[in-house]
Amino acid sequence: MKITFFSTQPYDKQFFIEHNKHFHYELEFFEMPLNAQTVSLVQDATVICVFVNDKVDAAILAQLKEKGVEIIALRCAGFNNVDLQAADSLAIQVCRVPAYSPEAVAEHAMAMILTLNRKVHKAYNRVREQNFSLQGLMGFDLYGKTVGVIGTGKIGKALCRILLGFGCNVLGFDLFVDRELEAAGVQYLPLIELLQQADIISLHSPLNDQTRHMINSQTLKLMKKGVMIINTSRGALIDTRAVIEALKTCQVGYLGIDVYEQEEKLFFHDHSEDIIEDDIIQRLMGFPNVLVTAHQAFFTREAMDEIAETTLHNIHAILAGEAAELPGKLV
């Protein structure tokens, strides 16, 4: 049985080949993303394995069905790039990895908070140039600050625990209250109240019609002047143009993003010798109080092991008629 992978990097091959020793599937890897131009590469595959920026819309699903594809296996938690209704109508099953080391993403979000606050990235560059001045590097104590965590699933929950360990006042917003977090000291509030009270806001929500551009020109006005915003979830949770305007007026004092609305054209590839035509990302990176990482929050050995193992197990379970981690089951 053949699995065709799209948007693969050397590390994807390494971990999937290692974990496939238990399954013995035929694996085919393509570096390019799945889209209308590359779907023709699929030949004799039962399963297509895709990542966050692959396009799996109704038209592509119809072509995959004609090619005999039975399963779309997402090696990520989000599934906003897949037309689930079209897949269902074509009897193509879809599975995902709802939780791969939630601590990996939570710890990266915390690293971004600390880096922006204490300006570690600036200090590193200064010292390398023999500049040991502290001017312009002042931060603030995290202890006692109010941090709002939007989305308290497994990743948001892991971040809440970290923040509580720092002595922060942690606010949570989610459709479902986590009683364990509440007992630990997290206060759940309506979204508007969280936005108004938080010194730092970290996004951990899935991307859907209700959450797209949840951070926009109107919600930004509700926040404290100089608020820090962290996004390690999905780029389109933030209206990038609106946050640029808020950075210019200092309404947003710090921005840390590991995801970006138009990242599929940039992330996971080396553009160091290219002219980047995306004026929005160039504008963002021009701000001294903005930190951008290239969708690396998930990227730990533990997470990669879990992604490969769960993806292959999901495929095995579906083929065997057993339950797998399906997109409809949000975790």
266-307 tens-digit pLDDT: 888 788 888 888 899 999 999 999 999 999 999 999 999 999
Q: How confident is the model at residue 330 (pLDDT cuts 50, 70, 90)?
A: very low
HEC string of 226-252 equals: CEEEEECCCHHHECHHHHHHHHHCCCE
Residues belonging to the active site:
234, 263, 295
Does 3.40.1190.20 match the CATH number of domain 102-292? no
Q: How confident is the model at residue 80 (pLDDT cuts 50, 70, 90)?
A: confident
Q: What pLDDT, on the 0 to 100 scale, is given for residue 323?
A: 64
141-184 tens-digit pLDDT: 999 999 999 999 999 999 999 999 999 999 999 999 999 999 99
Q: What pLDDT, on the 0 to 100 scale, is given for residue 79?
A: 86
Closest to 214 (Cα-Cα) out of 189, 188, 233, 186: 233
90 by DSSP, 3-state: which?
Answer: coil
Residues of each domain in the chain carrying CATH 3.40.50.720: 2-100+300-319, 102-292
CB-side neighbour CA atoms (13 Å) of 325: 21
Q: Which pTM value belongs to this model?
A: 0.88
Residue 255 bridge partners (DSSP): 229, 290
Instruction: Tell me what the mean pLDDT of segment 76-80 comes to.
Output: 84
Interatomic CA distance for residues 306 and 287, integer angstroms: 36
210-239 tens-digit pLDDT: 999 999 999 999 999 999 999 999 999 999
Domain range 2-100+300-319, CATH architecture: 3-Layer(aba) Sandwich (3.40)
